[in-house]
Amino acid sequence: MSERLRLGVNIDHVATVRNARGGDLPDPVRAAKLAQAAGADGITAHLREDRRHISDRDIDALKSALSVPLNFEMAATDEMQAIALRHKPHAVCIVPERREERTTEGGLEVARDENRLAHFIAPLAEAGCRVSIFIAADRPQIEAAARIGASVVELHTGAYCDAHAEGREADREAELVRITDMAGYADELGLEVHAGHGLTYGSVPPIAALPQVRELNIGHFLIGEAIFRGLDPAIREMRRVMDEARELTR
């Protein structure tokens, strides 16, 4: 498991800034190309049902502009499935969505919707997309993701990152133990393990150090940090922090 930890850069919030004024600027595709040049191993974009940030046009443009893999985050709806099957991105990540939420608040409830999700992801896998399921680090969700035939689980790091940011040490530790245990369990079941949501330079090291974790998807913090130091240096610094954490575990 000595493979380099991959960094997927999520460019959703470049589109959030663009959409605040309408028009075309700033352009998420320009950000994606810059991220690629700065060493991103992939680009992640979440086409929300309400199109609050990434648009259909962005997905068209990303698909033709990128040379690194596109990870297309999508809700488990017929509309999104049709879009994914049209584009056949390298990867799809099935995420929960509630229109009224500010951000993705929890993981997908796989265990209670197993049959429907198994049928939902089958054509995506048949089309050649790597299918990932965005879930909380919970044993029943991981087992259900394995049963429906997903090849990847992305563990939601939001609760861990919130505890880290708010200085709630006991909660931070508890979340970290949960993620650590469940990364190991998912790996034992043969699932590739990814992680993401809310990660920052400060919170990323223990997650990057988990040997089973193969990819991190990071967006909101990097786009914010880019305001102060530029997108290229912001991404390179994340790469450095991840690599350093990984190296310490060798």
Ligand X SMILES: CC(=O)[C@@H](O)[C@H](O)COP(=O)(O)O
Ligand Y SMILES: NCC(=O)COP(=O)(O)O
* Catalytic residue annotation: 46, 73, 197
Q: How far does CA 14 lie from the centroid of its chain? A: 16
Asked if 46 is part of the footprint of ligand X (rule: CB under 6 A), the reply reads yes
**Token pair for residue 110?**
């796989």
Asked if 220 is part of the footprint of ligand Y (rule: CB under 6 A), the reply reads yes
Asked if 215 is part of the footprint of ligand X (rule: CB under 6 A), the reply reads no
217 is in an annotated binding site: no
220 is in an annotated binding site: yes
Q: Which of 62, 95, 133, 199 binds ligand X (CB under 6 A)?
A: 95
Q: Minimum distance between the CB of residue 141 and ligand X, rounded to whole angstroms?
A: 15
104 is in an annotated binding site: no
Q: Minimum distance between the CB of residue 142 and ligand X, rounded to whole angstroms?
A: 17
- Which range, of 61-69, 125-133, 184-192, 219-227, touches ligand Y by CB under 6 A? 219-227
48 is in an annotated binding site: yes
**DSSP per-residue string spanning the chain:** --SPPEEEEE-HHHHHHHHHH-SS-S-HHHHHHHHHHTT-SEEEEE--TT-SS--HHHHHHHHHH-SSPEEEEE-SSHHHHHHHHHH--SEEEE----TT-SS--S----GGGHHHHHHHHHHHHHTTPEEEEEE-S-HHHHHHHHHTT-SEEEEE-HHHHHHHHTT-HHHHHHHHHHHHHHHHHHHHTT-EEEEESS--TTTHHHHHT-TTEEEEEE-HHHHHHHHHH-HHHHHHHHHHHHHHHHHHT-
* Binding to ligand X in span 221-250, by CB under 6 A: none
30 is in an annotated binding site: no
Q: Which of 89, 209, 219, 223 binds ligand X (CB under 6 A)?
A: 219
Q: Minimum distance between the CB of residue 94 and ligand Y, rounded to whole angstroms?
A: 11
Q: Which of 158/246 has CB closer to ligand Y?
A: 158
Asked if 175 is part of the footprint of ligand X (rule: CB under 6 A), the reply reads no
Asked if 73 is part of the footprint of ligand X (rule: CB under 6 A), the reply reads yes
Which residues sit in the known binding site for 1-deoxy-D-xylulose 5-phosphate?
A: 12-13, 48, 53, 103
Binding region for ligand X (CB under 6 A):
10, 12, 46, 48, 73, 95, 103-104, 134, 196-197, 219-220
